Amino acid sequence: MTVAIAPLEAPRSRILRLAAAGVTPVLAVVLAIIVGGFVVLASGSNPITAYQQMLVGAVGSPFDISETFISSIPLILAAYAVSFAFRCGLFNIGAEGQLYMGAIASTWVATTLSDWPGLPLIIACIVAAMAAGGAWAGIAGWLKAKTGAHEVITTMMLSYVAIDISHWLLEAGPMTPANAFGTPESGPIPPTAAFPVIVPSWILPNARLNASLFLTILAGLVFAWILWRTPLGYEIRAVGFNAKAAAYGGINVARRLVIAMVIAGAFAGLAGMVPVWTQMRLYDSFSPGYGYEAIAVALVGKNSAIGIFLAGLLYGAMIHGSVAMQANANISGFLVQILQALVLFFVGAEMLIRWMLKRGGLRAIAEASA
Amino acid sequence: MDLVNLFVTVFTRPDLWAGTLRFAAPLTLAALGGVISERSGVVNIAMEGMMLVGAFFAVLVAAATHDIVLATLASVVCGGLIATFHGVASIHLRANQIVSGMAINLLALGLTSFLMFRFYATSGTPSDIPALPDINIPVVNSIPFVGAVIGDQNIIVWVAILAVPATWFFLFRTRLGLRIRAVGEHPRAADTLGVSVFQIRYLCVILSGLLSGLGGAYLALSVAHSFSDNMTSGAGFIALAAMIFGKWHPVGAFLACLLFGFGQSLGINLQGTGFPDQLVAATPYVLTVVALAGFVGRATAPAADGVPYEVGE
Amino acid sequence: MAVAASVLFGACSSAATTAPSVAAPASVAAPASVAPASVPASAAAPASQAAVTSPGASASASCATPDPTLAIGLVTDVGGLNDKSFNHLAYLGLQQAQCQLGATVDVIQSSEQSQYVPNLTTFAQKGDKLVIAVGFLMANAVYTVAKQYPDVKFAAIDTAPADAKGNTVNLPNVANLFFHEQESGYLVGYMAGLMEKGKVGAATSGTISYMGGLAIPPVDRYIAGYIAGAKAADPGIKILGGYSQSFTDQTIGKSIGLNHISRGSTILFQVAGSSGLGYLQAAVDKKVFGIGVDADQNYVAPATIITSAIKKVDVAVFLTIQAVKDGTYKGGDNEFSLQNNATGFAPPNSAVPADIVSQVQAVADQIKSGAIVPPTTIPK
């Protein structure tokens, strides 16, 4: 099946295009909020209170802003994994498994090399996460290049395998030191390997937001740089746009497929490492489905570095904001998932939004965002 | 336990094969729906969501009416309704069909969990709802090995099995089927010959919803006899993989579902035999990848799959 | 995908529909008889009908007036309120406290593990009198937040605070609620063994089975007891076992059940939440026996479910809230076992003959006296 992605860009009116590209997702969010409001109303609650609580809960205090970022980071990184593959015409539906492999590898390094000094240790863990995620995704890429095996099937299957492997490692023992309750968890990540907290304690004591935020921003920059500033990225995008034409143009499609998957997997590996580092330990079933939610984030972010970052923040805000909604306004947290779905749906229904823009006399924006 | 002995014990166990059919049934229904939809050119990754919605409404209506026929009908219709949303988004609004499909999956999950909580809080769905009956075939049942495998399977298992040749016949031996395939490969050509691309696509998307909904009804009314959050647990995605594995062909998709069902059943039967249970659970997935890479190879979707059709351009 | 969800609290919705359970707190104090755990609403009116109305309107005259100073917060783990296991039971205990003690209650369903700390913090910051954490995954989170808020009381179900290194640290403001699930497992296993030995009803094969969700301690303790109890009743009994690797996938649960039945099992014990309900369905379909877990699951199929292994999380939660109200709250380990009637077996259905029930009751007394100590780990 064809995966529709943005075409290779002409340099003309780049700024206008970028600005206009942001209009449709914003309008989509607005539409989603409106429709979501009706759902809240139908369930007997007050939409104004609901959204107010969600907003305050997401960004109303330094604690909340910090936690919103923490909720967003794994989604953003995993979305880069999904998106990078999309750029090569590949549907990386198995980012979940790749992030598990990254989590396992980085934890293993941290607990095994625990007497290393801080900076080399954390770098080793990051490299291990990226390598493990990249290798796991690379298997799917290689299988596609070699045998034509469709990546939807292979990445999905490998994802389940990775999760089963993690269960085995943590429950049947190889990665679990004996502990008081026999809990399926790894040994602790040594404090020397922790990301430094970046929020000064005079703003927020006991803050949890750490340098993984910078890592994520760096990941976004690398994402954009590879795709838009390197020959490799150009070729990857060419393959994504039209693999046959790319092959005619002399590009080694098979190689590009594999490399694209490996790089995508590396992003996913990081997405696995960060939540483990938040808890300073690898627990059984630690991921709530980041790799799966990341598909929505990647699509809402339109496969662009900035778009994904913002979309990830939006979803993270919805997730953390829902906590206040539940605690203070007695409103069902399932609403969040419905909202997330609505945002995705309206982002996809671009035609609808463009039609609305045209009707509203904003033809130029409508056309520029096409 | 030596390997040969193990092999013989496990493979001669009728439940291994009976289990294969039980697992494959819902997957087959959803996968066949996917085949029909994608053959007409509409990418459909929303099987998971449609199955989940079908499951929920099957239980809801079963609890309210205590009528199994109405409940099954409700699940089928609801699956079709959800599919209609996907259709409108994909066909008329020309949305990115992956986006629309994913949105439906997320929406279905949130909505069913929300409604589940609304109607049944934490007490769970009532247990006195009717079930889809098993079909006990007296003569077959007494045949030594075969009887244990197929003599007492659920009615939906039979429906799923029969749906395979039915779908094949529908797609490859009827005029409508030809039109569907034409619309999926060369919509422009089909249009110029007077075939309504939109109508055909709507029909196929809705059909896929009906089939997925039925698969959900099976899970809720036969297997689990209840509804719980996210009870499909990825079955719709496995069906998607099976559809691609089967190269968008009904028989191929069915074989893929059987392979996967076999893998799951084998995994269950290998529990407690000395291999770690968690790794044994990965059997179906490993089996699928190996079979795909080793024997099946490249799969090509219908040419116009995923490309929204623009009338008169 | 686990999703954060909230609860619309109507007045006493659970009390209205679960008549026997209102008496439960009183009967826990009374020794001797094994009282049933709170039973989830029967096939009659769903509990949530009342829940949908706005909070504050008191539907039933028998509930206490709400006391805003007794604010209680419950943070579930990622299993969610519909897990048919400890999150669910904790919530039931919470509802009982709301009705009987007038507590004002809130629930946050954690959607991911990294949310445990902020969720607990949210309730602590709000000034709740008691914050309840559910599950062993929260050990470190409870430690972190309890240390930051020494004036807020916490209750940790199935776990104790653990520092970053993993060492258990008892804190004065955290009550560790531990349950002896192995006792309940032992008793139902003993009953299963006696049923098979006596060839009662469908239990004629000499083979029984169990299915866990994941191989984690709260699950394995039940199973360890079950195996030991069955073997004590009938040393020659054959026991099959498996794990579904899921607490939600009912298809796998049922398939494992059918598999075990095809290999001869006639009594199926589930320890797998919703997935386990699929396991029990297999017993229903093939007309053999099943045993439920955590709460009395007889309602699933009255003729099939002969008993359930009980873990009165709801009662423990209620008692802890009551202790906070009465000022008798104690931090540190709080053990819940047969000694305080928090574990045991649900009243068996009519398929179990009276003499078997009394034999199992006698074993329960032996466990209480310390003569029998059920194991907590499964023999390899």
Nearest to B103 among A146, A334, A344 (CB): A344
What's chain C's average pLDDT?
A: 82
Residue to mutate among C245, C251, C300, C313, with most B CBs inside 10 A, is: C251
Neighbors of chain B by Cβ distance (3+ pairs < 8 Å): A, C
Q: Which is higher by pLDDT, B241 or A346?
A: B241
Whether the pLDDT of residue C150 is over 70: the answer is yes
Whether the pLDDT of residue A349 is over 70: the answer is yes
Quote the distance between the C-alpha of residue A76 and its chain's center: 3
- CA B214, B216, B218 angle in degrees (round to 5)? 75
d(CA C146, CA C173): 7
What distance in Å separates residue C238's CA from the closest CA in chain A? 24
What distance in Å separates residue C238's CA from the closest CA in chain B? 13
Nearest to C114 among A43, A278, A333 (CB): A278
pLDDT computed for residue A97 by the predictor: 96
Contact C251 B113 (CB under 8 A): no
Residue A309 identity (one-letter amino acid): F
- Give the pLDDT band of residue C15 (cuts 50, 70, 90): very low
In sequence order, the 6+-apart residues with CB closer than 8 A to the CB of B256 are B31, B241, B242, B243, B245, B246, B288
Chain C residues close to B118, C-beta within 8 Å: 48, 52
> Which domains are seen in chain B, by residue range?
3-296 (1.10.3470)
Question: SS3 for chain C, per residue?
Answer: CCCCCCCCCCCCHHHHHCHHHHHHHHHHHCCCCCCCCCCCCCCCCCCHHHHCCCCCCCCCCCCCCCEEEEEEEEEECCCCCCCCCHHHHHHHHHHHHHHHHCEEEEEEECCCHHHHHHHHHHHHHHCCCEEEEECHHHHHHHHHHHHHCCCCEEEEECCCCECCCCCECCCCCEEEEEECHHHHHHHHHHHHHHHHHCCCCCCCCCEEEEEECCCCHHHHHHHHHHHHHHHHHCCCCEEEEEECCCCCCHHHHHHHHHHHHHCCCCEEEEECHHHHHHHHHHHHHCCCEEEEEECCCHHHCCCCEEEEEEECHHHHHHHHHHHHHHCCCCCEEEEECHHHCCEEECCCCCCCCHHHHHHHHHHHHHHHHCCCCCCCCCCC
pLDDT computed for residue C18 by the predictor: 29
pLDDT computed for residue A202 by the predictor: 85
Chain B residues close to C17, C-beta within 8 Å: 123
pLDDT computed for residue B151 by the predictor: 82
Q: How many CB pairs under 8 A join A and C?
A: 133
Is beta strand C289-294 parallel, antiparallel or unpaired with respect to C305-311?
parallel
The average pLDDT across A316-337 equals 81
Chain B residues close to A158, C-beta within 8 Å: 285, 289
- Give the pLDDT band of residue C344 (cuts 50, 70, 90): very high
Backbone angles phi, psi at A242, to 5 degrees: -160, 100
Contact B98 A156 (CB under 8 A): no
d(CA B50, CA B253): 18
* Residues B245/B288, Cβ–Cβ less than 8 Å: yes
Place of tokens 């808020």: C149
The average pLDDT across A136-158 equals 93
Chain B residues close to C251, C-beta within 8 Å: 23, 26, 219, 223-224, 233, 235
Q: Does C136 touch chain A (CB under 8 A)?
A: yes
Residue C80 identity (one-letter amino acid): G
* Residues B213/B84, Cβ–Cβ less than 8 Å: no
What distance in Å separates residue C149's CA from the closest CA in chain B? 31
Whether the pLDDT of residue C3 is over 70: the answer is no
pLDDT computed for residue C37 by the predictor: 32
pLDDT computed for residue C30 by the predictor: 32
- Residue pLDDT, tens place only, A22-43: 777 788 888 888 988 888 888 7
Chain C residues close to B223, C-beta within 8 Å: 250-251, 254, 278, 281
The average pLDDT across B157-185 equals 95
pLDDT computed for residue B202 by the predictor: 95
Q: Does C266 touch chain B (CB under 8 A)?
A: no
Contact B127 C259 (CB under 8 A): no
pLDDT computed for residue B5 by the predictor: 85
Whether the pLDDT of residue C25 is over 70: the answer is no
Contact C113 A286 (CB under 8 A): yes
Q: At what angle do helices A95-112 and A290-300 cross, to 10 degrees?
A: 120
Residue of C nearest to A292 (CA): C1
Contact C7 A187 (CB under 8 A): no
pLDDT computed for residue B236 by the predictor: 94
pLDDT computed for residue C35 by the predictor: 31
Nearest to B272 among C40, C242, C262 (CB): C242
Contact C91 B122 (CB under 8 A): yes
The average pLDDT across A72-97 equals 95
pLDDT computed for residue A214 by the predictor: 95
Share of chain A above pLDDT 90, in %: 47
- Taking Cα atoms as reference points, which of A196, A197, A176, A191 lies closest to residue A104? A176
The average pLDDT across A328-343 equals 78
* Residues C197/C158, Cβ–Cβ less than 8 Å: no
What distance in Å separates residue B33's CA from the closest CA in chain A? 16
- Give the pLDDT band of residue C43 (cuts 50, 70, 90): very low
Residue of B nearest to A353 (CA): B93
Distance set, CA A280 to CA A67, A275, C77 (Å): 16, 8, 18
Whether the pLDDT of residue C288 is over 90: the answer is yes
pLDDT computed for residue C340 by the predictor: 84
Q: Does A200 touch chain C (CB under 8 A)?
A: no
Whether the pLDDT of residue C59 is over 50: the answer is no
Q: Does C20 touch chain B (CB under 8 A)?
A: no
Using only C-alpha atoms, chain C has a radius of gyration, in whole angstroms, of 20
Residue C43: Cβ-neighbour burial (10 angstroms; 0-12, 13-18, 19+): middle
Nearest to A156 among B117, B241, B307 (CB): B241
- CA B64, B68, B73 angle in degrees (round to 5)? 90
- Give the pLDDT band of residue A192 (cuts 50, 70, 90): confident
d(CA C328, CA C321): 10
d(CA A332, CA A46): 12
Residue C332: strand pairing partners: C175
pLDDT computed for residue B33 by the predictor: 96
Place of tokens 């053990």: C335
* Residues B210/B51, Cβ–Cβ less than 8 Å: no
The average pLDDT across C91-118 equals 89
Q: Does C17 touch chain A (CB under 8 A)?
A: no
- Give the pLDDT band of residue A325 (cuts 50, 70, 90): confident
pLDDT computed for residue A201 by the predictor: 82
Q: Does C60 touch chain A (CB under 8 A)?
A: no
* Residues B140/B158, Cβ–Cβ less than 8 Å: no
Whether the pLDDT of residue C46 is over 50: the answer is no
pLDDT computed for residue C7 by the predictor: 27
- CA B279, B283, B286 angle in degrees (round to 5)? 105
Chain B residues close to A295, C-beta within 8 Å: 102
- Give the pLDDT band of residue B230 (cuts 50, 70, 90): confident
The average pLDDT across B99-123 equals 84
Note the ipTM here: 0.87
Residue A204 identity (one-letter amino acid): L
Instruction: For residue B96, give the 3-state DSSP assignment.
Output: coil
- Give the pLDDT band of residue C34 (cuts 50, 70, 90): very low
Contact A182 C245 (CB under 8 A): no
Least confident range of B219-223, B242-246, B273-277, C354-358: B273-277
- Residue pLDDT, tens place only, A232-281: 999 999 999 888 888 888 889 999 999 999 999 999 999 999 999 998 88
The average pLDDT across A186-191 equals 86
Chain B residues close to C256, C-beta within 8 Å: 268, 271
Q: Which is higher by pLDDT, C166 or C232?
A: C232
What distance in Å separates residue A45's CA from the closest CA in chain B? 13
Whether the pLDDT of residue A12 is over 70: the answer is no
Chain A residues close to C3, C-beta within 8 Å: 333-334, 336-337
d(CA A92, CA C280): 37
pLDDT computed for residue A342 by the predictor: 87
Neighbors of chain A by Cβ distance (3+ pairs < 8 Å): B, C
Query: How many CB atoms are located within 10 Å of the residue C262 CB?
Result: 18
Residue A91 DSSP class: -
> Which domains are seen in chain C, by residue range?
13-179+313-340 (3.40.50.2300), 182-311+350-369 (3.40.50.2300)
Residue of B nearest to A297 (CA): B99
Residue of B nearest to A141 (CA): B293
Quote the distance between the C-alpha of residue B165 and its chain's center: 15
Place of tokens 């007494």: B142
Sign of CA dihedral A113, A114, A120, A126: positive
Residue C57: Cβ-neighbour burial (10 angstroms; 0-12, 13-18, 19+): exposed
Least confident range of A56-60, B135-139, B269-273, B309-313: B309-313
Nearest to C4 among A43, A164, A333 (CB): A333
pLDDT computed for residue C31 by the predictor: 33
Q: Does C28 touch chain A (CB under 8 A)?
A: no
Nearest to C148 among A182, A183, A206 (CB): A206
Residue to mutate among A183, A197, A293, with most C CBs inside 10 A, is: A183
Backbone angles phi, psi at C104, to 5 degrees: -95, 125
Chain B residues close to C241, C-beta within 8 Å: 271-272
pLDDT computed for residue A312 by the predictor: 95
Q: Does A34 touch chain C (CB under 8 A)?
A: no
Contact C111 A319 (CB under 8 A): yes
Contact C216 A336 (CB under 8 A): no
The average pLDDT across C283-311 equals 93
The average pLDDT across B244-271 equals 93
What's chain B's average pLDDT?
A: 89
Q: Which helix (H) or strand (E) segment is A44 a member of?
A: none
Residue B137 DSSP class: -
Whether the pLDDT of residue B251 is over 90: the answer is yes
Chain C residues close to B224, C-beta within 8 Å: 250-251, 254, 277-278, 281
In sequence order, the 6+-apart residues with CB closer than 8 A to the CB of A218 are none
Is beta strand C305-311 parallel, antiparallel or unpaired with respect to C343-345?
antiparallel
Nearest to C254 among B14, B223, B228 (CB): B223
d(CA C78, CA C81): 9
pLDDT computed for residue C61 by the predictor: 53
Chain B residues close to A168, C-beta within 8 Å: 276, 278-279
Chain A residues close to B93, C-beta within 8 Å: 349-352
pLDDT computed for residue A327 by the predictor: 81
Whether the pLDDT of residue B158 is over 60: the answer is yes
- Residue pLDDT, tens place only, A55-66: 998 999 999 999
